[in-house]
Every structure is written in structure tokens, then in C-alpha cells.
Amino acid sequence: MSKLTLEALRKLRDAKRKEMNQRDTSAKEIHIVVGMGTCGIAAGAKETLNALVDAVSAQKLGNVLVRQTGCMGLCHSEPTVEVAVPGMPRVIYGRVKAEQAAAIVEQHVVGKHLLDSHILDRPAVDVMR
């Protein structure tokens, strides 16, 4: 197997960007935040993040940012993922394994439908503080 060099990576990126530009016309950014505290990582947040990245890449969405944050205060339902799509309510999903991560991208981000079975209430404000 030949090593994937940084130069080859740059070419891959350019090819991907070209593909995105042809497809993607809405410039508004979509934010996905994954809880990567110790509780999240123990529950599989790393796999969740990787699955989200894979799903976004498969859908060829160039305007999705995936960020990491610490514990959101919902340790009972890790891995947790917050999704902010312009024009839709900001939603926190719980128990997001790889399967649900793919569904979040397909249904919520692309299809604009919430995944009702995994929506969590936000922690009370005093807990957040």
C-alpha cells in the first residue's frame, strides 16, 4: 500500500471541494456538537463523532461543522449530540450511537425532520451553571 501523503491529501481535498461547490448552494452553516467529556467518551462518543463525520461526508455536505465539547450535564444519556440547523429548533439528542448518528444526518440535517425518540430536554439552568 502506498502511503497517503499530505500532497495527496491536498488533492483529495480539492477534488472534494469541487464536488461540494457543484452540489451545495446554501451557505448557512449547520453546527453539530458532540459531548466528549469522560462520560461521553466512555459511552462511545468517539465512535459517534466518527460516524457523524462519515455520514456528512457521504452526503457531500460542505457546510456542516462538527465540534467537540465537554460534558453537557446529561451523563445518563451519553453519547449526546447537539444539532443546530438554521430555521429549526436547536436540539440535543441522547444515546446517539453510530446508527443514530447516521440517522441524525439523514433525517434532521438533510430531511429537516427531528428524531423524536432520541430528543432530550435541556438540563435545568441551575444544573448548567
Partner 1 sequence: MHATVCDYIADLVQNAVEAGASRIGLEIETGPVQVAVTVSDNGCGMDAARMRRVEDPFFSAPGKHDQRRVGLGLPLLRQAVDATGGTMEVRSAAGEGTMVFFRFAAQHVDTPPLGELAGTLLTLLALPGCYELTVRRRATAGDYTVARHELLETLGDLENAVNLALAREYLAAVEQELETASRIRAA
Enumerate the H helices of the chain as residue ranges.
Answer: 6-23, 38-43, 45-58, 98-103, 125-128
Judged by CB under 8 A, the residue of 18, 23, 26, 65 near partner 1 is 65
Judged by CB under 8 A, the residue of 39, 43, 64, 74 near partner 1 is 64
List, as one string, the DSSP characters of 42-70: HHTHHHHHHHHHHHHHHTT-TTEEEEEES
CA count, 13 A, side-chain hemisphere, 100: 22
- 32 touches partner 1 (CB under 8 A): yes
- 107 touches partner 1 (CB under 8 A): no
Cell numbers 425532520 correspond to 113
Min CB(17)–partner 1 separation in Å: 8
**Residues contributing to the site for partner 1 (CB under 8 A):** 1, 3-4, 6, 9-10, 12-13, 16, 20, 32, 36, 38, 41-42, 46-47, 49-50, 52-54, 56-57, 60-62, 64-69, 129
